[in-house]
Amino acid sequence: MLMNLTGKIKTGIVILAALSGVIRPEKSPLNQGYVFPVMVVIFGSLMIPFLVGLSLIFKKREIIKPNWNDNLLTRRKPLPFIQFAAYIFVANGIATIISTAIRDHQLNGNGLVNMDFGIGMLIGIQLTLLWIKNK
């Protein structure tokens, strides 16, 4: 599958988000323990179906599987924007974790939470698609 202009712009923005985690990550040791990142994944996973369900109730939305080349500014399809935001969180989180691990030899809590929230959002998209399919 070839990328159109929208896909190329989105890829550039995700790369910039990752670079922002590499260039100047905050020092944030993991003080909350390992339960908090798991809660963030669960929250992200449950938040997306809830928000999409609300948007279906109040406005007519088209819920289809997002494609990387989809336009983000289409208001009738909310999942492509959510997918894009999730990839930004994951890219920034992974870059922050790696750069902090190399430079400071510690696990960065903010990077872990960003990555976990993005993963939770991607899981939420899949749950939403399952929910709509079985509805």
pLDDT of residue 88: 94
Q: Is residue 54 part of a domain?
A: yes
Q: Is residue 66 part of a domain?
A: yes
pLDDT of residue 9: 87
Residue 14 has pLDDT above 80, yes or no: yes
Q: Is residue 39 part of a domain?
A: yes
pLDDT of residue 56: 74
**Averaged confidence pLDDT in the chain:** 83
| 109-134 vs 79-104: helix crossing angle, rounded to 10 | 160
Q: Is residue 41 part of a domain?
A: yes
Q: Is residue 64 part of a domain?
A: yes
pLDDT of residue 27: 67
pLDDT of residue 64: 82
Q: Tell me the torsion sign for CA atoms 111, 64, 1, 12.
A: negative
Does residue 111 contact residue 100 with C-beta atoms inside 8 Å?
yes
pTM here is 0.84
51-91 pLDDT tens trace: 888 877 777 777 888 888 888 877 778 888 889 999 999 99
Domain count, the chain: 1
**Which residue(s) pair with 39 in the sheet?**
none
Q: Tell me the torsion sign for CA atoms 48, 37, 32, 81.
A: negative
Q: Is residue 24 part of a domain?
A: no
Burial environment of residue 46 by CB neighbours within 10 A (0 to 12, 13 to 18, 19 or more): middle
Query: Going by C-beta distance under 8 Å and a sequence separation of 6 or more, which residues neighbour residue 55?
Result: 61, 78
Residue 15 has pLDDT above 80, yes or no: yes
Query: Going by C-beta distance under 8 Å and a sequence separation of 6 or more, which residues neighbour residue 111?
Result: 21, 25, 28, 92, 93, 94, 95, 96, 97, 100
Q: Which amino acid is at 40?
A: V
Q: Is residue 60 part of a domain?
A: yes
Structure-derived torsion over alpha carbons of residues 127, 108, 9, 74, reported in degrees to the nearest 10: 30
Q: Is residue 83 part of a domain?
A: yes
pLDDT of residue 102: 86
Range of the domain at 56: 34-134
What percentage of residues in the chain have a pLDDT greater than 70?
A: 91
Q: Which pLDDT band holds residue 120 (cuts at 50, 70, 90)? A: very high
